Amino acid sequence: MSLAKFADMKVGIDNIDNLNNLSKFAIKHNVILGVLVEINTSMFRWVLDLPTLL
């Protein structure tokens, strides 16, 4: 996580559990991670869809 203290880090997530784990780790190490979320727009390129996020 030391790189995240000096760079504008962004991560793509495809799983809510991964998001929660990254969040806990970032809080513990006092860093900010940007999160890129692609909503399923019926093209099925990504695992998450709007009902999953809500």
Which residues lie across from 12 on neighbouring strands? Answer: 36
Percentage of the chain modeled with pLDDT above 90: 7
| 7 vs 52 pLDDT, higher one | 7
Give the integer Cα–Cα distance in Å for 23 and 26.
Answer: 5
pLDDT of 14 above 90: no
pLDDT of 1 above 60: no
The arithmetic mean of pLDDT across residues 11-19, rounded, is: 82
Q: Using alpha carbons, select from 43, 5, 26 the residue that is nearest to residue 35.
A: 26
What are the residue ranges spanned by the domains of the chain?
1-29
